[in-house]
Amino acid sequence: MSEVPGSRRPASRVHQVSTRLGRLAVREYSTREDQATGSALLWHSMFTDSRSWSRVAPALAEHRRLLIVDGPGYGHSAELTRRSSIEESAEAAVQVLESLQDGPVDWVGNAWGGHTGLHLAATAPQRVRSLVAISSPVQPVSRAERRQIELMTRLLRVVGPVGPLRDAIAAVQLADPRGSLRPLVDSGLRTLSRRSLANTVDSFIVGRTDLSWALPLITAPTLVVATDAREDFTPEQAEATARAIPGGRWTVVHGSGVLAPLEQPAWTAETIIDFWTSLDGV
């Protein structure tokens, strides 16, 4: 599972953007001198940060100027100090775009980032040129899952991401939770405060509402991506999601849990670039 190389040394700088959910760190990353093809915004999954894009960013930066976000409470962004929602994530994304981007972006979101992108594309269509939603179920978590996650949230708030909790998180995030990518997932968890981590889980997993209302409102070309190791978002569910979006497409990545950009970077980058290329001539 090799990384996807970029052919030139990228230009990179970090912006700090004030939003309704606190200060968000956004890394601007590009290998292109000519930005005629525009910009893409990348928003990561829960329990990770912007480093989860590190294996696909060099290839994607050959085709777009990238704005790679650390979501509220993660990475180099400010702590999340209160309960929030996917709606507020989308509103924070608008503030990022108002600060850093003229015109619409190609949105690429993994799980939490996909949920945020779906909401944004439905409510602020002028902001989204296209959308890739990776491992992003539109239904809320089930009652049984909610009870388990609520218990985990209480533990995270008290003791933080101790060993057994990290094991449980890795088992969902990764197809191979004991493989070489596990230290990267663990390191992202260790940088978070207990309060911030618990607030994000409570806000964006426990409190996630049904997003099916958004699907018929999305006018941007959309690619819905399922992974074969996530039980709560199957290929059949991805197909149904895509069919509910005008112009929606869907595909499946094999050998991955939630974090396809980390576990299958070559496939993920190639699929996103092919999708962008299909739009560039339109």
pLDDT (0 to 100) of residue 1? 34
Q: With the C-alpha atoms ordered 179, 51, 255, 3, is the resulting torsion angle positive or negative?
A: negative
- Among 115, 13, 25, smallest CA distance to 70 is for 25
Q: With the C-alpha atoms ordered 77, 80, 81, 86, is the resulting torsion angle positive or negative?
A: positive
DSSP for 64-108, written as a single string: SEEEEE--TTSTTSPPP-S---HHHHHHHHHHHHHHH-SS-EEEE
pTM score, two decimals? 0.93
CA distances from 32 to 35, 36, 37, 199 (A): 6, 9, 10, 37
Can you tell me the distance from the alpha carbon of 38 to that of 112, in angstroms, rounded to the nearest whole number?
A: 23
pLDDT (0 to 100) of residue 34? 55
CB environment 229-244: b (16+ within 10 A), e (fewer): bbeebebebbbbbbee
Q: What's the whole-number average pLDDT of the chain?
A: 92
pLDDT (0 to 100) of residue 4? 44
Hey, is 269 helix, strand or coil?
helix
- Among 254, 282, 217, 260, smallest CA distance to 108 is for 260
Chain centroid offset of residue 50 CA: 9
Report the percentage of the chain scoring pLDDT > 70: 94
Cα-based angle 235, 238, 244 (whole degrees, multiple of 5): 145
Extents of the domains making up the chain: 11-139+210-280
- Among 267, 273, 260, 179, smallest CA distance to 226 is for 260
pLDDT beyond 50 at 216: yes
Pairing of strands 22-30, 65-69: antiparallel
pLDDT (0 to 100) of residue 229? 87
- Among 265, 257, 130, 140, smallest CA distance to 206 is for 140
Which CATH fold topology does 11-139+210-280 show? Answer: Rossmann fold (3.40.50)
